[in-house]
Structure 1
């Protein structure tokens, strides 16, 4: 059966589109979530057209072979990890920007387009695609859609789902589904587009997306506020948002994270800071007034120092420092990245609880985050090759998710569920929510071949 499936698969694809040599397929086994299990694929398939994706799914359905869709494998939850005997469906060859329409302010793209490439292409047309995950130089639009990715600017502009107008999707059986619409308005029928965004490849394979664009933001100003305590910084962030200010970015770095970034690369960050708050306004002539108001809030909350970037280059340097968080922390050891989001008013309680969890389990926890929307990334760091440390890290990770749920939050704000948080999803959804998720999965994928073992427990 395996030989027959591979022969049928190869018959409808270019010669270099199917990889079976383990030396070639091994790199496709997992994403960046090193803590998650990954299986051995039967083959890696690299289609370049929608019709080729349909062929793959028809063969997979006929032979009951599981399929794991993949983008650039920058995910942090194991959602793109292979399962034994699967076809890994790598979509990176489908990387064309098909259209940029300045009148309707939309772009039509294939799933393998890299986020930063799209951002630069639309900027050349005077337009802006706001979702900007830290992995934007590597991650693909298809992967961003699969996880409903956020990023640094989502505090003002929203997450990926807020910019997906419509999708072309290949179903598990190889049929072609088109959802959504091109115009800015349209409410006909159930919102299948929103259902598919964030489904992590478990309901269908996205082969084309129509994305909403915005005008290019005006010139931005950025400030960095240094605090003597993390609690003061989190209080300042909550007050900035409560005051009705609309920062285009509001980011938090705790003391261990600041030190890790500075050790990784000299970015001029204050080594003695107990916490750092980065705030930005992109309102051009009004940005100065905005950052001054945010600075006053920070001072009232106990900021020790306020530094304003003097030009675009300094602003870009501060943003680059924030984007270096993941590689900087990875230099410290194995990282297990959490992704809880809680109401902003509960952020000080969350951080206090994380500090206690760190002490209880004897692990280091660094805690950066998109504090403007309550989405924190407590990252458990432990030594490589130490099974006892890995076990403690796993328990600390679970304790952080339990804490986030107890504060009225969620187990993931933007990284998705994948394998890493699958067993926690049922706790958040409850019995009825879990049952409805399973029912929806069965409608889209009755044979259960699409990314099995992901998302649902």
Structure 2
């Protein structure tokens, strides 16, 4: 029987792969120590299997990425692109024998152009670093995931990330004007434009945004910028029920208001934040709604929203007087996921997005699911766009509790679809939600997506096992 090269001699095959990679990469860019490569095996998602990579490469140039992909194509070796591995769906998890292509060393901001209002960056640039760099020139890059101090622009593009400001400014896809992409066979392709307008041909740029590294390797991005807005002021409103808070959200949006932020924390989340940070949030509240405006004079907007919250049944409304108070209120929201993780040691973070009008139904449904499975499930939400993060807290060392956590996760996903929503608003599909993607888009949708995948990656070597 003739065996494949990896079956016949895995060590030799790995050595051949390493030798080929070193022909076009510096020695320090090729990592083979199993203890080191193992640390690149997975992202931050629970319940997502990960394999053992054969090698980890850390290129610094486009040409080095091209060499990796040519080598992978010639040897038929899978490639898993990675950024900072802050993802929550297993999209960056390694497969056995793969090349992990970590793009964190490609971290240069190549250009900031105040006239064209664009930035040109490499994929390893940290989101917060870009934000601060453009702020220095009076500009603003709006997408701000909760992990913005760690996550990379390449990762944001791969998962079409959102953030706290999406209700006014939109998500990553709306800021990616053009891309340079290394294809599976090592060819370099440019998509999109640097101009404010452009409709030449199919929109391949949007195709790559959210593709989770399954179609090509993003090595450069042209990003749209906005003028830096005034400092936002925040209002906090307490409610005796989540339903009342969701009613307030509907009133705010129906009233034509455009907050820069509209976030919701349920009672479980408020308690968890208090436990970890002693922030003095009112634990008697069933839901806390945070609204912000970054207009030149936010006072009238905040007053109007305060009145709407009171009409919806708010028990207390507290507007911040200045930027420092606003930041203190926002800190509670930013600590939410860390605080929930501390409840039982591990969390499974859902990412269901529903129409704003069904937000209350989703939260009430999650409460029923938590009670059914006897679990702590906190809900934080980008309420202004209906994107919720039900967060299942569980003890990973307890098989029974872990099983109930997985069941509750699936029931929340099903509830989101039942309410006319989607399985992911910003975290992506990865490994975690493959089955649910098929349910959402149906067999014809899956067939067409697979056809697109084959067109870009006929050998199926780019991030195999993800999405579908």
Determine the structure 1 residue equivalent to 2:313: 302
Q: What is the alpha-carbon distance in structure 2 between the residues aligned to residue 272 and residue 47 of structure 1?
A: 52
3-state DSSP of counterpart to 1:207: strand
Residue 443 in 1 paired to residue 450 in 2? no
Residue 131 in 1 paired to residue 131 in 2? no
Determine the structure 2 residue equivalent to 1:104: 116
3-state DSSP of counterpart to 1:103: coil
Q: What is the alpha-carbon distance in structure 2 between the residues aligned to residue 339 and residue 407 of structure 1?
A: 14
Matches for 1:364-403 after TM superposition, within 5 Å: 364-403=376-415
Residue 57 in 1 paired to residue 69 in 2? yes
Residue 21 in 1 paired to residue 38 in 2? no
Residue 217 in 1 paired to residue 245 in 2? no
Determine the structure 1 residue equivalent to 2:302: 291
Q: Please state how far the C-alpha of 1:401 moved relative to its aligned partner.
A: 0.5
> Which one of the candidate residues 340, 344, 348 is aligned to 1:336?
348
Q: What is the alpha-carbon distance in structure 1 between the residues aligned to residue 424 and residue 438 of structure 2?
A: 13
Using structure 2 for the length normalisation, give the TM-score. Answer: 0.96
Determine the structure 1 residue equivalent to 2:293: 281
Q: What is the alpha-carbon distance in structure 2 between the residues aligned to residue 156 and residue 421 of structure 1?
A: 28
Q: Please state how far the C-alpha of 1:23 moved relative to its aligned partner.
A: 1.5
- Comparing 365-374 with 262-271, which one deviates more in the overlay? 262-271
Q: Please state how far the C-alpha of 1:384 moved relative to its aligned partner.
A: 2.9
Q: What's the C-alpha RMSD, in Å, of the aligned pairs?
A: 0.8
Q: Please state how far the C-alpha of 1:42 moved relative to its aligned partner.
A: 0.2
Q: What is the alpha-carbon distance in structure 2 between the residues aligned to residue 454 and residue 431 of structure 1?
A: 17
Residue 262 in 1 paired to residue 262 in 2? no
Q: What is the alpha-carbon distance in structure 2 between the residues aligned to residue 288 and residue 268 of structure 1?
A: 25
Q: What is the alpha-carbon distance in structure 2 between the residues aligned to residue 318 and residue 204 of structure 1?
A: 40
Q: What is the alpha-carbon distance in structure 2 between the residues aligned to residue 249 and residue 293 of structure 1?
A: 15
CA deviations over 1:254-296 (Å, ceiling 9, x no partner): 00101111111123322221110000000022x1101111110
Determine the structure 1 residue equivalent to 2:179: 167
Determine the structure 2 residue equivalent to 1:7: 19
Q: What is the alpha-carbon distance in structure 1 between the residues aligned to residue 136 and residue 229 of structure 2?
A: 13
CA deviations over 1:176-214 (Å, ceiling 9, x no partner): 010000001000100000000000000000000000000
3-state DSSP of counterpart to 2:343: coil
- Comparing 337-346 with 321-330, which one deviates more in the overlay? 321-330
Determine the structure 1 residue equivalent to 2:325: 314
Q: Please state how far the C-alpha of 1:231 moved relative to its aligned partner.
A: 0.6
Q: What is the alpha-carbon distance in structure 2 between the residues aligned to residue 384 and residue 331 of structure 1?
A: 13
> Which one of the candidate residues 371, 377, 398 is aligned to 1:359?
371
Q: What is the alpha-carbon distance in structure 2 between the residues aligned to residue 69 and residue 108 of structure 1?
A: 20
Residue 142 in 1 paired to residue 154 in 2? yes
Q: What is the alpha-carbon distance in structure 1 between the residues aligned to residue 218 and residue 435 of structure 2?
A: 26
3-state DSSP of counterpart to 1:377: strand
Determine the structure 2 residue equivalent to 1:73: 85
Residue 422 in 1 paired to residue 422 in 2? no
Q: What is the alpha-carbon distance in structure 2 between the residues aligned to residue 383 and residue 24 of structure 1?
A: 27
Using structure 1 for the length normalisation, give the TM-score. Answer: 0.99
Aligned residues: 455
3-state DSSP of counterpart to 1:92: coil
> Which one of the candidate residues 194, 200, 205 is aligned to 2:217?
205
CA deviations over 1:76-106 (Å, ceiling 9, x no partner): 0000000100000000000000000000000
Q: Please state how far the C-alpha of 1:54 moved relative to its aligned partner.
A: 0.3
Q: Please state how far the C-alpha of 1:357 moved relative to its aligned partner.
A: 1.1
Q: Which runs of 4+ in 1 moved over 2 A?
A: none
Determine the structure 1 residue equivalent to 2:6: none
Structure 2 gaps, min length 5? 1-12
Matches for 1:404-419 after TM superposition, within 5 Å: 404-419=416-431
Q: What is the alpha-carbon distance in structure 2 between the residues aligned to residue 379 and residue 160 of structure 1?
A: 23
Q: Please state how far the C-alpha of 1:67 moved relative to its aligned partner.
A: 0.4
Q: Please state how far the C-alpha of 1:219 moved relative to its aligned partner.
A: 2.7
Q: What is the alpha-carbon distance in structure 1 between the residues aligned to residue 286 and residue 296 of structure 2?
A: 31
Structure 1 gaps, min length 5? none
CA deviations over 1:313-350 (Å, ceiling 9, x no partner): 11111122111111111111210100001111111111
3-state DSSP of counterpart to 1:367: strand
Q: Please state how far the C-alpha of 1:444 moved relative to its aligned partner.
A: 0.5
> Which one of the candidate residues 315, 326, 340 is aligned to 2:337?
326
- Comparing 266-275 with 324-333, which one deviates more in the overlay? 266-275
